[in-house]
Chain A
Amino acid sequence: MRLFSIAKSFFQSLFRRRQVDAELDDELRSTIDLLADEKVNEGMLPEEARRAARIELGGVEQVKEKVRAVRAGAWLATLLQDVRFGLRMLRKNPGFTAVAVLTLALGIGTTASMFTIVDGVILKSLGYSHAERIVTIDTHWTDSHPTIHSVTGGDLEDIRDASGCFDTFSFYDGGEFGVQLAHSAEFVGIYEVDPEFFNVFQVPPLAGRAFVASDTGGVAVVSLGFALRNFGSASAALGQTAKIDTTAYQIVGVMPPSFQFPRQAQMWAAVSPVPQNKNRTSYNYHAIARLQSAKSLAVVNARLLSIANRLAAAFPDSNRDKTFTAVPLQQELGAPVRSTLLILLGAVGLVLLIACANVANLMLARSAGRRRELALRAVLGAGKTRLILQLLSEGMILALAAGLVGIALAMLGTRALLALGAKFLPAPLLGDIHFDWRVLAFAVAVTFLTSILFGIAPAYCATRVNLQDAIRQGGSHGTLGASRSRLRDSLVVSQIALALLLAVSATLLFRTMLALRSAALGYRTQGILVAYAHAPARTLLEALGAGRFFDSLFARLRETPGVISVAGAMGMPAGQYGSNGGFAIEGKQKWCGDGPGCDYRTYPHAIFALASPRYFATMSIPLTRGREFNDADLYDSPFVAIVSESLARQYFPNEDPIGHRIFCGFDATGKWMTVVGVVGDVRQDSPAAQPGPELYMPVRQHPYMGNELQVVVRTSGSPEALIPAVQQTIHEMDPDVAMKFTTMQDMVTDSISAQHFRAILAATFATLALLLALSGMYAVMSHVTAQRTAEFGLRSALGAQQANILRLVMGGATRLAIIGVIAGALLSLFAARLISSMLFGVQSLDAFTYALVIAIVLPVVVLAAALPAWRASRVDPMVALRHE
Chain B
Amino acid sequence: MDAEQTNLLQGTLDLVILKALALEEMHGLGISRRIEQITKGTFQVKPGSLFPALHRMEEAGWLSSAWGESENNRRAKYYRLTKTGRRQLGAETKRWSRVSLAIKRALEAS
A interface residues (Cβ-Cβ under 8 A, vs B): 1-2, 4-6, 9, 23-24, 26-28, 30-31, 33-35, 37-38, 56-58, 62-63, 66-67, 69-72
Taken together as a complex, chains A and B put the C-alpha atoms of A587 and B58 apart, in Å, by: 105
Q: Which residues of A contact B80 (CB under 8 A)?
A: none
Q: Which residues of B contact A23 (CB under 8 A)?
A: 77
> Across the interface, do A9 and B28 meet the contact criterion of CB distance under 8 Å?
no
Q: Which residues of B contact A56 (CB under 8 A)?
A: 47
Q: Which residues of A contact B52 (CB under 8 A)?
A: 63, 66-67, 69-70
Q: Is B9 an interface residue (CB 8 A)?
A: no
A-B contacts, 22 of them at CB < 8 A, read: A1-B61, A5-B59, A5-B61, A23-B77, A24-B51, A27-B51, A27-B76, A28-B51, A30-B74, A30-B77, A31-B28, A31-B47, A31-B76, A34-B74, A58-B48, A63-B51, A66-B48, A66-B51, A66-B52, A67-B51, A69-B52, A72-B59
Q: Which residues of B contact A38 (CB under 8 A)?
A: 29
Known: A5-B59, A26-B75, A66-B48; 15 extra A-B contacts, CB below 8 A, are: A1-B84, A5-B58, A5-B61, A6-B59, A26-B77, A28-B51, A34-B29, A37-B72, A57-B47, A58-B46, A58-B47, A62-B48, A66-B51, A69-B52, A71-B59
> Across the interface, do A31 and B59 meet the contact criterion of CB distance under 8 Å?
no
> Across the interface, do A70 and B74 meet the contact criterion of CB distance under 8 Å?
no
Q: How far is the CB of A247 from chain B (nearest CB, A)?
A: 85
Taken together as a complex, chains A and B put the C-alpha atoms of A67 and B59 apart, in Å, by: 11
Taken together as a complex, chains A and B put the C-alpha atoms of A67 and B48 apart, in Å, by: 8
> Across the interface, do B59 and A27 meet the contact criterion of CB distance under 8 Å?
no
Taken together as a complex, chains A and B put the C-alpha atoms of A70 and B51 apart, in Å, by: 10
**Chain B, 22-65, CB within 8 A of any chain A CB:** 27-29, 46-48, 51-52, 55-56, 58-61
Taken together as a complex, chains A and B put the C-alpha atoms of A33 and B69 apart, in Å, by: 13
> Across the interface, do A2 and B61 meet the contact criterion of CB distance under 8 Å?
yes
Q: Is B12 an interface residue (CB 8 A)?
A: no
| One of A2, A30, A71 near B84 (C-beta < 8 A) | A2
> Across the interface, do A2 and B60 meet the contact criterion of CB distance under 8 Å?
yes
The majority secondary structure among interface residues of chain A is helix
Residue of A nearest to B53 (CB): A70
> Across the interface, do A27 and B58 meet the contact criterion of CB distance under 8 Å?
no
| One of A6, A26, A33, A63 near B47 (C-beta < 8 A) | A63
Q: How far is the CB of A379 from chain B (nearest CB, A)?
A: 16
Residue of A nearest to B46 (CB): A58
Q: Which residues of A contact B84 (CB under 8 A)?
A: 1-2
Residue of B nearest to A40 (CB): B72
Q: Which residues of B contact A4 (CB under 8 A)?
A: 61
Q: Which residues of B contact A27 (CB under 8 A)?
A: 28, 51, 76-77
Taken together as a complex, chains A and B put the C-alpha atoms of A63 and B3 apart, in Å, by: 12
Taken together as a complex, chains A and B put the C-alpha atoms of A450 and B79 apart, in Å, by: 47
Q: How large is the interface on B (under 10, 10 to 19, 20 to 34, 35 or more residues)?
A: 20 to 34
Residue of A nearest to B75 (CB): A30
Against A, the Cβ 8 Å flags (1 = close, 0 = not) of B62-88 are 000000001010111100001010000
> Across the interface, do A63 and B48 meet the contact criterion of CB distance under 8 Å?
yes
Q: Which residues of B contact A2 (CB under 8 A)?
A: 60-61, 84
Q: Which residues of B contact A67 (CB under 8 A)?
A: 51-52, 55
B interface residues (Cβ-Cβ under 8 A, vs A): 27-29, 46-48, 51-52, 55-56, 58-61, 70, 72, 74-77, 82, 84
Which residue of B59, B75, B76, B77 has the most chain A CB atoms within 10 A of its CB atom?
B59
Q: Which residues of A contact B28 (CB under 8 A)?
A: 27, 31
Q: How far is the CB of A54 from chain B (nearest CB, A)?
A: 11
Q: Which residues of B contact A31 (CB under 8 A)?
A: 27-29, 47, 76
| One of A1, A26, A34 near B70 (C-beta < 8 A) | A34
Query: Given contacts A30-B75, A30-B77, A63-B47, are A5 and B29 in contact (CB under 8 A)?
Result: no
Taken together as a complex, chains A and B put the C-alpha atoms of A2 and B62 apart, in Å, by: 8
Q: Which residues of A contact B70 (CB under 8 A)?
A: 34
Q: How far is the CB of A11 from chain B (nearest CB, A)?
A: 12
Taken together as a complex, chains A and B put the C-alpha atoms of A5 and B58 apart, in Å, by: 8
Q: How far is the CB of A23 from chain B (nearest CB, A)?
A: 8
Q: Which residues of A contact B55 (CB under 8 A)?
A: 67, 70-71
Residue of B nearest to A62 (CB): B48
Q: Which residues of A contact B59 (CB under 8 A)?
A: 5-6, 9, 70-72
Taken together as a complex, chains A and B put the C-alpha atoms of A57 and B52 apart, in Å, by: 13
Q: How far is the CB of A70 from chain B (nearest CB, A)?
A: 4
Q: How far is the CB of B13 from chain A (nearest CB, A)?
A: 12
Q: How far is the CB of B56 from chain A (nearest CB, A)?
A: 4
Q: How far is the CB of B96 from chain A (nearest CB, A)?
A: 22
Q: How far is the CB of B35 from chain A (nearest CB, A)?
A: 15
Q: Which residues of B contact A9 (CB under 8 A)?
A: 59
Taken together as a complex, chains A and B put the C-alpha atoms of A38 and B30 apart, in Å, by: 11
Taken together as a complex, chains A and B put the C-alpha atoms of A835 and B65 apart, in Å, by: 72
Q: How far is the CB of B86 from chain A (nearest CB, A)?
A: 13
Taken together as a complex, chains A and B put the C-alpha atoms of A34 and B78 apart, in Å, by: 13
Q: How far is the CB of B58 from chain A (nearest CB, A)?
A: 7
Taken together as a complex, chains A and B put the C-alpha atoms of A62 and B52 apart, in Å, by: 11
Q: How far is the CB of A30 from chain B (nearest CB, A)?
A: 5
Residue of A nearest to B84 (CB): A1
Residue of A nearest to B57 (CB): A70
Residue of B nearest to A60 (CB): B47
Which residue of A6, A34, A56 has the most chain B CB atoms within 10 A of its CB atom?
A34
> Across the interface, do A35 and B29 meet the contact criterion of CB distance under 8 Å?
yes
Q: Which residues of B contact A57 (CB under 8 A)?
A: 47
Which 8 A/B pairs are nearest by Cβ-Cβ distance? A2-B61, A70-B56, A27-B77, A34-B29, A66-B52, A70-B52, A1-B61, A30-B76
Taken together as a complex, chains A and B put the C-alpha atoms of A35 and B61 apart, in Å, by: 27
Q: Which residues of A contact B29 (CB under 8 A)?
A: 31, 34-35, 38
Taken together as a complex, chains A and B put the C-alpha atoms of A35 and B30 apart, in Å, by: 10
Q: How far is the CB of A353 from chain B (nearest CB, A)?
A: 40
Residue of B nearest to A9 (CB): B59
Q: Which residues of A contact B72 (CB under 8 A)?
A: 37
> Across the interface, do B60 and A30 meet the contact criterion of CB distance under 8 Å?
no
Taken together as a complex, chains A and B put the C-alpha atoms of A23 and B76 apart, in Å, by: 11
Taken together as a complex, chains A and B put the C-alpha atoms of A66 and B46 apart, in Å, by: 12
Q: Which residues of A contact B74 (CB under 8 A)?
A: 30, 33-34, 37
Q: How far is the CB of B17 from chain A (nearest CB, A)?
A: 14
Taken together as a complex, chains A and B put the C-alpha atoms of A37 and B72 apart, in Å, by: 8
Residue of B nearest to A29 (CB): B75
Residue of B nearest to A38 (CB): B29
Taken together as a complex, chains A and B put the C-alpha atoms of A398 and B104 apart, in Å, by: 57
Which residue of B47, B51, B76, B82 has the most chain A CB atoms within 10 A of its CB atom?
B47
Q: Which residues of B contact A28 (CB under 8 A)?
A: 47, 51
Taken together as a complex, chains A and B put the C-alpha atoms of A147 and B51 apart, in Å, by: 77
Q: How far is the CB of A748 from chain B (nearest CB, A)?
A: 75
Residue of B nearest to A53 (CB): B29
Query: Given contacts A37-B72, A70-B55, are A5 and B27 in contact (CB under 8 A)?
Result: no
> Across the interface, do A34 and B76 meet the contact criterion of CB distance under 8 Å?
yes
Which residue of B51, B56, B74, B75 has the most chain A CB atoms within 10 A of its CB atom?
B51
Taken together as a complex, chains A and B put the C-alpha atoms of A56 and B28 apart, in Å, by: 14
Q: Which residues of A contact B51 (CB under 8 A)?
A: 24, 27-28, 63, 66-67
Taken together as a complex, chains A and B put the C-alpha atoms of A72 and B46 apart, in Å, by: 22
Q: How far is the CB of A390 from chain B (nearest CB, A)?
A: 21
Q: Which residues of A contact B58 (CB under 8 A)?
A: 5
Residue of A nearest to B72 (CB): A37
Q: Which residues of B contact A5 (CB under 8 A)?
A: 58-61
Residue of A nearest to B65 (CB): A27
Taken together as a complex, chains A and B put the C-alpha atoms of A67 and B51 apart, in Å, by: 6
Taken together as a complex, chains A and B put the C-alpha atoms of A34 and B77 apart, in Å, by: 11
> Across the interface, do A34 and B60 meet the contact criterion of CB distance under 8 Å?
no
Q: Which residues of B contact A33 (CB under 8 A)?
A: 74
Taken together as a complex, chains A and B put the C-alpha atoms of A815 and B50 apart, in Å, by: 56
Q: Which residues of B contact A26 (CB under 8 A)?
A: 75, 77
Query: Given contacts A2-B84, A70-B52, are A30 and B27 in contact (CB under 8 A)?
Result: yes
Taken together as a complex, chains A and B put the C-alpha atoms of A24 and B46 apart, in Å, by: 16
Taken together as a complex, chains A and B put the C-alpha atoms of A72 and B75 apart, in Å, by: 27
Taken together as a complex, chains A and B put the C-alpha atoms of A66 and B6 apart, in Å, by: 14
Taken together as a complex, chains A and B put the C-alpha atoms of A37 and B52 apart, in Å, by: 23
Taken together as a complex, chains A and B put the C-alpha atoms of A69 and B27 apart, in Å, by: 21
Residue of A nearest to B70 (CB): A34
